[in-house]
Amino acid sequence: TSTLPVLDDVPTEMVGEIAAMSHLSDEALQGLATSTLRPERQTLLCELLDKQGRGAVDEAEQQELAALMAEYGRSVLRRAKAVALLLARGKSLPVLTPLAPAP
């Protein structure tokens, strides 16, 4: 039971996916723990956040930003649960690559 993830903080639509992660191999969990948004999605997220900070996003961009933030949140949750499972299995943490600064 120590390798089963706690699911009380997981959005309903991700419960099955997160629960199934406990059956993944260490290698698969390492891959999830180091995964990030695709570079073009990261770039778009940074651009929209910058525009929002300047108060220059329109309605369509605001919706796109909300979708990207949700995608990013799901990605972070997957990575966190993968790391938690690896630690529970007594494995070392994967080496994380820092994100490149936004252009």
DSSP string for 1-32:
-TTSPP-TTS-GGGHHHHHHGGGS-HHHHHHH
Is residue 99 pLDDT above 60, yes or no? no
Average pLDDT, the chain: 85
Which residue did the predictor score with more confidence, 73 or 103? 73
Higher pLDDT residue, 103 or 84? 84
Reply yes or no on whether the pLDDT at 57 is more than 80: yes
The residue type of 91 is K
Lowest mean pLDDT: which of 20-24, 44-48, 64-68, 96-100? Answer: 96-100
Residue, of 10 and 100, whose pLDDT is higher: 10
